[in-house]
Amino acid sequence: MNQKAIRRNQKKEKTVAASNHHSDVATDKDTLFMLSGVAFIVFGAGLILSNPLVRKYLGQVGIGSLAQNAIPDLERYLKLRSM
């Protein structure tokens, strides 16, 4: 190979390496944004649930009975999904 072809190949390799580095940075940034969004959701839910009025209403609704009613539906769904 002549010198021009070698330089072109080296230039292409550098470009590919730079684009791979850029995509890794973008992926890390997207992951960071996603995790920070989840953290904000959890923090917001904690603020809402710490309100005594909200606790009172949730106590009246009966979250435990809601979970007991949902378990048979979940089991049925898992059986259908495994078929």
**Residue found under tokens 């944004």:** 33
- pTM: predicted TM-score of the whole model, two decimal places: 0.44
Q: Could you tell me how far CA 46 lies from the centroid of its own chain?
A: 19
Q: Alpha-carbon torsion 53, 55, 58, 59, what sign?
A: negative
Q: Could you tell me how far CA 47 lies from the centroid of its own chain?
A: 21
Segment 6-60, tens digit of pLDDT: 777 767 776 665 555 556 677 888 999 999 999 999 999 888 888 888 888 877 8
Q: How far apart are CA 57 and CA 66, in angstroms?
A: 14
Q: How far apart are CA 41 and CA 36, in angstroms?
A: 9
